[in-house]
Structure 1
Amino acid sequence: MDECKDHGLSDEAVHDAFLRAIESDDRARKRFREAEFGDLDLNSFVLDSGDNEPIVFEQATIHGLLNFSRASVRQPLEFSRCTFNTVQATDAEFDYELRFPNATFHGDVDFVGSAFKRGAFFRQSTFDRPLLFGGTEFNAAASFRYATFRAVSTFRDVGFGQASFNEATFETSAQFSAVTFRGRAEFTMTEFASSATFEGVRALAQFDFSPNRVGRSDFSDSSFENIDVAIGVLGGSRRVSLRDTTIETGRLGQPSSDGRVAYDLTGARLGDVTLDLPTPGAFDRYRRYLTDFGNFQFVEYREALRDHRWKIHEYVEPTETTTTDLELTYLKAKRGASSVGDSDDAAHFFVREMRYRRRRYRERTGDPSLPVRDRLGALSRWFTNGFLALVAGYGERPQRVIATAISVVLTSALLYPFEWVGGVRTADGVYLYGNRPTLAAELAAFAYDNSLYFSVVTFTTLGYGDSSPAGGLARLLASAEAVSDAFFAALFVFALGRRVTR
């Protein structure tokens, strides 16, 4: 379109000449090679020449404003190796493909509220000023591959079909807020010089995030059907926030080189997600705090769990925790492990849960702001919790019940012969410490004839056999020992059954 090169024409005249050219049946007139424009204002215009011939700009320059606001573009458009100042395309509709290969944008670019019914391609384009897509809909593919963003790039409340930002470079922050990716989204070999924010994202298909470089990555309050994260780190540490995010399947990777990536999964929900562990010690690179577990396979990390003593909340970065939240963390982990039939890990998480519950009772006991009644109730529960931990490992350690029962028998046997307790009455008289001529005879009488024998019989039967307690305290001790037998028997059956059923 030669008349566009005539700088003597006004913008209105150039605009009219442009419209005449695109309405022409001559295909060649719809190609604008090395054309120059001041402003090209197509505000609220219906761009339709009645055919599907693409309108092509090659190495064209628009020095002023390219305005597609509220326009309806019903032709394929291509701006190849073109240079722009400001682009305003709010609430525009593009029925066919829109292409900007190797384009340069020196001014602001605004596509707020626009809709792309076919593909939109910005391959190898450069954006010198802020870029804004807000409320924009890409029904098909959107490609920013090899693009360079030199100012803040904002994609807010945008809907993508397929999206590719492979090998793009963001020289400042990139913001993808409340974005929906309906198809595959790719950020492979992307360069983020600063932070990358993906808050409130919904990814309904594969989401690949494998940048060569990135500062802090924020995926909080998002949901991913399938995510693959593999961040390149050359030494040092990178942080990825996945707080309150749902991940159905995927992989959270670690760099193959030196360095680490720390994932904050606070409040997240993990399904069948793989956590890369270069070594079992790398387990603390993933913070599982108040995290829900759906189809997460703890059994695949048994060695790492064992090395960390099933402390899944420990994190390589500085964090703050509360006892109440730690208790809830292990309750959620226990439920998650149980839901996939992993009874062994569920048992360990249950023990952790009960320990933090005991700590919570202790804190309430010492809290001066609480009423005395509440503090006494907390003290009672703290004691009960500690007692169950000691004698049965919260029902997860049946061997502790046996050990405790044996200790009751031995302790009682040691107490009976004291004179202040009363001793053990036998056919030969009352057995007390010191009434045998030698130490060997004393031990034999204790072990076989008197106290130990009496303690075992008292613990295991309802009667005293051929011996009986002598004195009030001895009778009280014998009664307590006899009652404890029933308690420990029931506790052992409970703990053993719990272990077997797990």
Structure 2
Amino acid sequence: MTGRGDGSSERGAVEAFEAANGVGDAGGDVEAATEVLRCSPDERAERGVSDDDVRAAFLTVVREGDADAKDLRGVELPAIELDRLTVDGADRHPVDLRGATVASLSARFATIRLPLRLDDATLGDVTFDEAHVEEAVLADGATVTGDFEAFEARFAGDVEFDGATFEGRFDVDESTFANDVTFDGATFDGVVEARAAEFYGDSNLLDDNTSFTGATFADLADFRQAEFGFTHFERATFADEANFQEASFDGDAEFDEAVFEAFADFDEARFGGDTGFADVAFTGDADFRGAAFSGRERALDEDATFAGSTFGGDADFRHARFRFVTFAEVAFEGRVHFEEAEFDADATFADARFAAETDFDEARFREDADFSAVEFAARAVFRGAEFTGGANFLEDDLTFEGAHFGADADFHNAEVTSANFVDTTFGGEIDFSGASFSERIDFEASQVDGDAWVDFTRAKIVSGRIAQPAENWVRYDLTLASLGDVELVAAADEDHRRLLDFFRFCRTEFTEFDGHEFDFSAHREYLDRNAWAIHEFHEPPDADPDYELAMTPEVTETTYLKAKQSAAAVGDMKVAGEFRVKRQQYSRAKNLEVARDDSAATWTRTKNLGRAAENYFLGVTCGHGMRPIRIGFAFVLAPLLYVPFYAFGGGPFLTAAGQLSVAEAFTTDGLATLFDVARFSYISYTTIGYGFLGPEGRLAEVLAASEAYLSVVLSALLVYALVKRSEM
């Protein structure tokens, strides 16, 4: 054994020991030293052996002793100081202090090249600050009654403290453990400081490099910026704060069934292998902000699992990044934050429970996201979240099948490829405004109370299905939405006739997506029964919804224009025509609204009044082209409207057919006169002009001319109505 300096203090101790014990040769040195070490403290006192003598004897045995000499099991030793020494021996047998009691062990700046066996030993303070321990340290069941300090130490061999107890502070800040490290079942009563420590193991993928399985941390456990290889903390208990901030786990990290009774801080931690937090109890807040779970390329395993865990406090995963991850059956009792989290592979939250507000604001799900049977007891926010899905054509990219939203659900501006909301229940406001479903949606929701509605304002839905369940129907507001070939259905066939009572279309686009036009044909029975109205849905008596747009005549007119274009795009001209009639009705109301506006210019009011009158005329005469029978009757019977004027109007209305009094109308001569008057009216109306009957009074001339004009107008309207009808 040689010192790092000139070794004079060591040699002085050895020489003092030899003089006190009459030792003269090397063999005798070892034997005498071994005998001293195996004596009890009382026996040493009787022989006058000082603590310095004992330390010198220990150094002699370590330096020269064989396996038998270094078998020091059960001995009681004073403080052993190896500071700044290079501790080596004649052979590689370990220094066996199993069951021994050592007042303290200090090896600051030392180099130790022999294995140490300290199983079941009782030690006071243990200090390895900046030491190099090149062989194994085996201390299963040991008890350290003082502080354990190993600042910037390097342990090249295995380090085993299974079942050990550390009653004081445990400090391995910036230390390096190059081989396997095990603290399974260990108890740390004091503060644990392992900041920037390196637990790299021996790169053996089949073994545990670092293990704290079943360990108990009674005070602060500080692993900030620590670096781990393959790591196990299963069933570990952290009674105080556990700080793994910015720690990195290059291999698999297992925390299954661990208990965090206080704050668990994994802020900015990096998990390079598979990570297990299954069945973990987080009693306090848990912080995983900015944590990255990279995982490994294993097709059958999740890269990270929190399945079955309980978060008793707030859970913060903001800006975290995952590959395959599962939160199945997790219970979140506090607020949950996943804002701007990124899920690069499948994410599973099936059967999870969120008791407080949950926020996935602007989260990114790049493959399938499973929220089936999830319960959201409080407000759930998915604003701006992206569910882009993967190349899996057999499942939905996003599923909330069987999920329950007990309060508000906010999907404002969410972007989804395909989604499944079958058997989903809602208990608050349901906001899908601005959301986009680029492939399809399968939506079958029911409501907990009676006034919920789904706000699809400005949403874009390319295709899919929106179904009403057997009971507890939900209303759908599609104001300014873009709707493709979406099927609207009811669970029971007999309910189909009232289906559109629960859908509100307001300036809704139906033809935005090429090849995906919305088809009203399946709802003809409802539309015909309901006078082809689609701009309102049935509301409960006390409802006071805050719509994006009020149904003004102008807005309603545009709504039916877009509906007409949709029906025409799918070739249903009957429905297109009916919507055209509805559009004209609200166009007339719009013009009358301007005409009544005192603040508008006189000419503007006049023009709009004229348009309203024209609109009314077209509606009355031919139903805006949809009622050819009506205009046909009008065309045939219009001349009869002039007969009373010609027959009973007096001199100004006199014609060559003659006139009569009302009393003479039903006499033989009177009927003949009425016939001649009617014949004159039809001659004027058809502009035949046989010449033997003509107007004589001035007003009769005017009426005869107006009849000719009316015949032109009505014949044109009849042709217009017949053409429109033929298009159906």
Give, in whole Å, the separation in 2 of the partners of 1:172 and 1:324.
39
| 2:237 is equivalent to residue 66 of structure 1 | no
Letter in 1 for 2:454: V
| Alpha carbons of structure 1 residues 209 and 180: separation in structure 2 relative to 1, 3 Å | farther
1:394-420 deviation digits (Å, cap 9, x = unpaired): 222222322222342001222212313
| Alpha carbons of structure 1 residues 213 and 359: separation in structure 2 relative to 1, 3 Å | closer
- The TM-score with structure 2 as length reference comes to 0.64
Give, in angstroms, the shift of residue 22 of structure 1. 9.7
Q: 401, 413, 417: which one pairs with 1:200?
A: 413
| Cα RMSD after superposing both structures | 2.5
Bigger drift between 189-198 and 21-30 goes to: 21-30
Give, in angstroms, the shift of residue 163 of structure 1. 0.9
Give, in whole Å, the separation in 2 of the partners of 1:22 and 1:273.
59
Q: 519, 523, 528: which one pairs with 1:306?
A: 528
Give, in angstroms, the shift of residue 443 of structure 1. 4.4
Match of 1:123 in 2: 328
1:338-394 deviation digits (Å, cap 9, x = unpaired): 111111111111111111111111111111111222222222222122122222222
Give, in whole Å, the separation in 2 of the partners of 1:148 and 1:15.
36
Match of 1:7 in 2: 188
Q: 655, 666, 685: which one pairs with 1:424?
A: 655
Match of 1:374 in 2: 604
Letter in 2 for 1:324: E
| Alpha carbons of structure 1 residues 114 and 235: separation in structure 2 relative to 1, 3 Å | closer
1:263-296 deviation digits (Å, cap 9, x = unpaired): 1111111111122242412321111122111311
Give, in whole Å, the separation in 2 of the partners of 1:15 and 1:57.
20
Give, in whole Å, the separation in 2 of the partners of 1:435 and 1:383.
34
Bigger drift between 390-399 and 190-199 goes to: 390-399
Match of 2:453 in 1: 239
SS in 2 for 1:395: coil
Alignment of 1:261-276 (within 5 A): 261-276=474-489
1:191-232 deviation digits (Å, cap 9, x = unpaired): 222121111111112333432453332111101121112224
| 2:304 is equivalent to residue 77 of structure 1 | no
Q: 225, 241, 245: which one pairs with 1:43?
A: 245
Give, in whole Å, the separation in 2 of the partners of 1:279 and 1:3.
65
Kept after mapping to 2: 8 A contact 1:75/1:95: yes
Letter in 2 for 1:33: E
Letter in 2 for 1:365: A
Letter in 1 for 2:269: A
Give, in angstroms, the shift of residue 446 of structure 1. 3.4
Give, in whole Å, the separation in 1 of the partners of 2:205 and 2:478.
60
Bigger drift between 328-337 and 107-116 goes to: 107-116
| 2:285 is equivalent to residue 86 of structure 1 | yes
Give, in angstroms, the shift of residue 24 of structure 1. 6.6
| Alpha carbons of structure 1 residues 456 and 23: separation in structure 2 relative to 1, 3 Å | same
Give, in whole Å, the separation in 1 of the partners of 2:408 and 2:248.
39
1:224-249 deviation digits (Å, cap 9, x = unpaired): 12111222447745321111111111
Give, in whole Å, the separation in 2 of the partners of 1:286 and 1:239.
9
Match of 1:476 in 2: 702
SS in 1 for 2:656: strand
Q: 618, 621, 638: which one pairs with 1:408?
A: 638
Q: 590, 593, 607: which one pairs with 1:363?
A: 593
SS in 2 for 1:208: strand
Give, in angstroms, the shift of residue 10 of structure 1. 2.3
Give, in whole Å, the separation in 1 of the partners of 2:629 and 2:202.
88
1:125-183 deviation digits (Å, cap 9, x = unpaired): 11121111111111111111111111111001111121111122212111111011112
Give, in angstroms, the shift of residue 48 of structure 1. 1.0
Kept after mapping to 2: 8 A contact 1:31/1:55: yes
1:23-61 deviation digits (Å, cap 9, x = unpaired): 776624343332123444333333214xxxx32223212
Give, in whole Å, the separation in 1 of the partners of 2:525 and 2:346.
43
Match of 2:386 in 1: 180
Give, in angstroms, the shift of residue 462 of structure 1. 4.0
Give, in whole Å, the separation in 2 of the partners of 1:39 and 1:435.
108
Structure (1 or 2) with the greater helix fraction: 1
Match of 2:309 in 1: 103
Bigger drift between 302-311 and 415-424 goes to: 415-424
Match of 1:487 in 2: 713
1:68-92 deviation digits (Å, cap 9, x = unpaired): 3333321100012111233222223
SS in 2 for 1:325: helix
| Alpha carbons of structure 1 residues 22 and 229: separation in structure 2 relative to 1, 3 Å | farther
| 2:433 is equivalent to residue 220 of structure 1 | yes
Letter in 2 for 1:223: S
Match of 2:232 in 1: 31
| Alpha carbons of structure 1 residues 498 and 437: separation in structure 2 relative to 1, 3 Å | closer
Structure with the bigger RCO (C-alpha within 8 Å, sep 6+) is 1
Give, in whole Å, the separation in 1 of the partners of 2:202 and 2:421.
40
Kept after mapping to 2: 8 A contact 1:293/1:336: yes
Kept after mapping to 2: 8 A contact 1:23/1:48: no
Higher-Rg member (1/2): 2
Letter in 1 for 2:505: R
* Structure 2 unaligned spans of 5+: 1-181, 212-230, 296-302, 390-396, 512-516
Give, in whole Å, the separation in 2 of the partners of 1:437 and 1:285.
62
Kept after mapping to 2: 8 A contact 1:242/1:264: yes
1:442-497 deviation digits (Å, cap 9, x = unpaired): 4431354x101111122123424421112111111111112222222222222211
Letter in 2 for 1:414: P
Bigger drift between 373-382 and 314-323 goes to: 314-323
Match of 1:496 in 2: 722
Match of 1:290 in 2: 507
Match of 1:454 in 2: 680
Letter in 2 for 1:180: E
Kept after mapping to 2: 8 A contact 1:71/1:93: yes
Give, in whole Å, the separation in 1 of the partners of 2:532 and 2:651.
48
Kept after mapping to 2: 8 A contact 1:88/1:110: yes
Letter in 2 for 1:34: R
- The TM-score with structure 1 as length reference comes to 0.91
Kept after mapping to 2: 8 A contact 1:179/1:201: yes
Bigger drift between 491-500 and 127-136 goes to: 491-500
Give, in whole Å, the separation in 2 of the partners of 1:364 and 1:488.
29
Give, in angstroms, the shift of residue 186 of structure 1. 1.1
Give, in angstroms, the shift of residue 435 of structure 1. 10
Give, in whole Å, the separation in 2 of the partners of 1:46 and 1:58.
18
Letter in 2 for 1:46: S
| 2:397 is equivalent to residue 170 of structure 1 | no
Give, in whole Å, the separation in 2 of the partners of 1:381 and 1:119.
64
Match of 1:159 in 2: 364
Give, in whole Å, the separation in 2 of the partners of 1:10 and 1:134.
33
| Alpha carbons of structure 1 residues 369 and 462: separation in structure 2 relative to 1, 3 Å | same
* Number of residue pairs the alignment of both structures matches: 490
Letter in 2 for 1:458: S
Bigger drift between 182-191 and 55-64 goes to: 55-64
SS in 2 for 1:493: helix
Kept after mapping to 2: 8 A contact 1:11/1:39: no
